[in-house]
Amino acid sequence: MKKSYCPIDTFINVFKGKRKATIILHLFQGDKRYNKLAKLLPDISERMLTKQLKELETDGLIKRTVFPEVPPRVEYSLTDLGREIHPVLKGMYKGGMLFEKVIEDYQG
């Protein structure tokens, strides 16, 4: 995470990347294993999902827990920061729905 000139830019820079905000929204509904997240996000490759998860973990938004089992089980969950940012992402989701309606109305 790198501080920008403007806090809005800092926020956008953290969430730049394929489906980072969507990952946070899914994890707000509960902890998820990697395979479950991959099924919820079928439009991105496994390589890209792994990259986004690592970046979100590095930025302190999610936590990766490895359970000492055979085979190893890995779960992803939100940190306190990840839970705190949820209302902002939910607002962005609602804003996106408004824009999608405008686009549909314009095209229809």
**What's the pLDDT tens digit per position in 75-95?**
999 999 999 998 998 898 899
Give me the pLDDT at residue 71, please.
87
Give me the pLDDT at residue 105, please.
85
Give me the pLDDT at residue 108, please.
66
DSSP class of residue 74 equals E
Give me the pLDDT at residue 18, please.
83
Q: Is the pTM of this model over 0.95?
A: no
Paired tokens of 103: 């686009």
Among residues 58, 59, 49, 1, the alpha carbon closest in space to that of 23 is found at: 49
Beta strands 62-67; 32-33: pairing state = unpaired
d(CA 63, CA 44): 21
**Residues of the chain falling short of pLDDT 50:** none
Paired tokens of 62: 């999610």
Residue recorded with tokens 């938004």: 61
